[in-house]
Structure 1
Amino acid sequence: MSQFRLLRERRFRPFFLTQFLGAFNDNLFKNALVVLLTFQAASWTTIAPTLLANLAAGIFILPFFLFSATAGQLADKYDKARLTRLVKVLEIAIMLVALAGFVLHSLAVLLGALFLLGCHSTLFGPVKYALLPQHLHEDELVGGNALVEAGTFVAILLGTLAGGMLAAAEHGALWIAAAGLVVALAGYLTSRGVPPAPAPEPGLKVNPNPLTETWRNIGFARENQPVYLAILGISWFWLYGALFLAQFPAYAKSVIGGGEGTVTLLLATFTVGIGLGSLLCEKLSGGQIEIGLVPFGSIGLTIFGLDLAFASPAGLPAGAPLAVAEVLAQPGVVRVLVALLMLGVFGGFFIVPLYAMMQSRSAAAHRARVIAANNIMNALFMVAGALAAGGLLSAGLSIPALFGVAAVMNAAVAVYIYRLVPEFLLR
Structure 2
Amino acid sequence: MTQHSQFALLGTRRFLPFFLTQLLGAFNDNIFKQALILAILFKLSISGDRDLLVNLCAMLFILPFFLFSALGGQFGEKFAKDALIRVIKLAEVLIMAVGAIGFVLGNLPLMLLTLFAMGTQSALFGPVKYSILPVALREHELVGGNALVEMGTFLAILAGTIGAGMLMASSSYAVLVAGAVVLVALAGYLASRSVPRAAAAMPELVLDWNIVRQSWRIMRLGLGQRPAVSRSLVGNSWFWFLGAVYLTQIPAFAKELLHGDESVVTLILAVFSIGIGLGSMLCERMSGHKVEIGLVPFGSMGLSLFGILLWWVSSDFPAVATPYDWLSLLGVAQAWWIMAAIFAIGLFGGLYIVPLYALIQSRTVEKERARVIAANNILNALFMVAAALVSILFLSVAKLSIPQLFLAISLMNIAVNAYIFKIVPEFTMRFLIWMLSHSMYRVRHQGLEAIPDEGAAVLVCNHVSFVDALLIGGAVRRPVRFVMYYKIYNLPVLNFIFRTAGTVPIAGRSEDEKTYERAFQRIAQYLAEGEVVCIFPEGKLTTSGEIDEFKAGVERILAANPVPVIPMALQGLWGSFFSRAPHKGLFKRFWSRITLVAGQPMPADTGRLVLQEQVAQLRGDVR
Calculate the TM-score normalised by the size of structure 1.
0.98
Q: Do the aligned partners of 1:161 and 1:264 also contact (CA within 8 Å) in 2?
A: yes
Q: Return the letter of the residue paired with 1:349.
A: L
Compute the displacement of 1:339 (Å): 0.4
State the partner residue of 1:207.
208
Letter in 1 for 2:158: L
1:132 & 1:126 partners in 2: Cα distance? 11
Which residue number corresponds to residue 281 of structure 1? 283
Indicate the structure with greater helix content: 1
Between 1:264-273 and 1:163-172, the stretch displaced more is 163-172
**Does residue 399 of structure 1 match 2:402?**
yes
Once the two structures are superposed, residues 287-311 of structure 1 have per-residue CA deviations (whole angstroms, 9 ceiling, x without a partner) of 1110000000000000000001111
Counterpart CA distance in 2 for 1:142 and 1:47 is: 47
Asked if 1 retains the 8 angstrom alpha-carbon contact of 2:68 and 2:123, the reply is yes
Report matched runs for 1:7-46 at 5 Å: 7-41=10-44, 43=45, 45-46=46-47
The whole-number CA distance in structure 2 between the counterparts of 1:49 and 1:248 is: 19
1:415 aligns with 2:414: no
Which one of 219, 226, 229 corresponds to residue 227 of structure 1?
A: 229
1:237-252 → structure 2 map (5 Å cutoff): 237-252=239-254
> Which structure 1 residue ranges, 5 or more long, are not aligned?
none
The structure showing larger relative contact order (alpha-carbon pairs under 8 Å, at least 6 residues apart) is 1
1:335 paired residue number: 337
User: What is aligned with 1:50?
Assistant: 51
Q: Who is 2:135 aligned against?
A: 134
Q: Aligned equivalents of 1:280 and 1:103: distance in 2?
A: 43
CA distance in 2 between counterparts of 1:192 and 1:401 reads 48
Given that residues 74 and 207 in structure 2 are in contact (C-alpha distance below 8 angstroms), is that contact kept between their aligned partners in structure 1? yes
Q: Which residue of 2 aligns with 1:106?
A: 107
1:136 CA drift (Å): 0.6
**Which segment is superposed worse, 370-379 or 96-105?**
96-105
Question: 2:103 touches 2:177 (CA, 8 Å); kept in 1?
Answer: no
Contact kept in structure 2, 1:291 and 1:426, CA below 8 Å: no
Matched to 1:77, the amino acid is K
Q: Are the aligned partners of 1:313 and 1:332 in contact in 2 as well (CA < 8 Å)?
A: no
CA distance in 2 between counterparts of 1:284 and 1:102 reads 46
Q: How does 1:16-415 map to 2 (within 5 A)?
A: 16-41=19-44, 43=45, 45-221=46-222, 222-315=224-317, 317-395=319-397, 396-415=399-418
The amino acid across from 1:11 in the alignment is R
Q: Which amino acid aligns with 1:394?
A: S
Question: Partners in 2 of 1:120 and 1:299 — Cα distance?
Answer: 35
Structure 2 counterpart of 1:127, one-letter code = V
SS of 1:151's equivalent in the other structure is helix
The CA distance in 2 between the partners of 1:213 and 1:316, in whole Å, is 54
Q: Which amino acid aligns with 1:312?
A: S
- Could you tell me how far 1:315 is from its partner in structure 2? 4.8
Q: Of the two, which has the highest radius of gyration?
A: 2
1:344-376 Cα deviation digits (max 9, x unpaired): 110011000000000011111111000000000
Are the equivalent residues in 2 in contact too, given 1:69–1:210 (CA < 8 A)?
yes
Q: Which whole-Å deviations, capped at 9, do the CAs of 1:149-172 have from their partners, x for residues lacking one?
A: 000000000001111111121110
Q: Is the 8 A contact 2:317 2:334 kept in 1?
A: no
- Partners in 2 of 1:375 and 1:133 — Cα distance? 18
How far has the Cα of 1:134 moved from its partner?
A: 0.4
SS of match in other structure, 1:332: helix
Contact 1:258 1:324 in 2 (8 A): yes
| Whole-angstrom CA distance in 2 between matches of 1:361 and 1:82 | 25
Q: Deviations over 1:131-162 (max 9, x none)?
A: 00001111111000000000000000000111
CA displacement at 1:320 relative to structure 2: 3.9
Is 1:254–1:316's contact at 8 Å kept on the other side of the alignment? Answer: no
Whichever residue aligns with residue 35 of structure 1, its letter is: L
Provide the rounded CA distance (Å) in 1 between the counterparts of 2:270 and 2:238: 22
Off by >6 Å, runs of 4+ in structure 1: none
Q: Which position in structure 1 is the counterpart of 2:551?
A: none
- Shift of the alpha carbon at 1:316? 5.3
Q: Which amino acid in the other structure matches residue 39 of structure 2?
A: L
Q: CA offset at residue 219 of structure 1?
A: 1.9
- CA–CA distance in 2 between the matches of 1:290 and 1:196? 28
Q: Which moved more, 1:213-222 or 1:395-404?
A: 213-222
> Counterpart of 1:21 in structure 2: which amino acid?
L
- Unaligned 5+ runs, structure 2: 431-623
Structure 2 CA distance for aligned equivalents of residues 263 and 304 of structure 1: 19
SS in 2 for 1:147: helix
Which deviates further from its counterpart, 390-399 or 226-235? Answer: 390-399
Structure 1 CA distance, aligned partners of 2:255 and 2:246? 15
Q: Distance in 2 between matches of 1:175 and 1:83?
A: 30
C-alpha distance in structure 2 between counterparts of 1:60 and 1:48, whole Å:
19
How far the C-alpha of 1:40 sits from its partner, in A, is 2.1
How far off is 1:319 after superposition?
Answer: 1.5
The answer to whether the 8 A contact 1:256-1:313 is kept is no
Letter paired with 1:186: A
Kindly indicate whether the alpha-carbon contact (under 8 Å) linking 2:24 and 2:188 is maintained by their aligned counterparts in 1.
yes
Structure 1 stretch displaced more, 406-415 or 222-231: 222-231
CA contact (8 A) 1:272 1:344 kept: yes
The normalised TM-score by structure 2 is 0.67
Q: Percent identity?
A: 52
The letter for the 2-side match of 1:413 is V
What's the secondary structure of 1:426's corresponding residue?
helix
Deviations, residues 226-266 of structure 1 (Å, cap 9, x unaligned): 11100000000000011001111100000001010000000
Deviation track 1:72-121 (CA, whole Å, cap 9, x = no partner) reads: 00010001100111111101101111122123321100000011111111
Q: Please state how far the C-alpha of 1:48 moved relative to its aligned partner.
A: 1.7
Q: Give the Cα–Cα distance (whole angstroms) in 1 for the partners of residues 121 and 319 of structure 2.
A: 43
* AA in 1 matched with 2:25: G
Is the CA contact (8 Å cut-off) linking 2:60 and 2:116 kept in structure 1? yes
Alpha-carbon separation, structure 1, partners of 2:299 and 2:180? 37
Query: Contact 1:255–1:316 (CA<8 Å) still a contact in 2?
Result: no
Contact kept, 8 Å, 1:142 with 1:281, in 2: the verdict is yes
Do the aligned partners of residues 417 and 320 (structure 1) sit closer, same or farther apart at CA in structure 2, a change above 3 Å counting?
Answer: farther
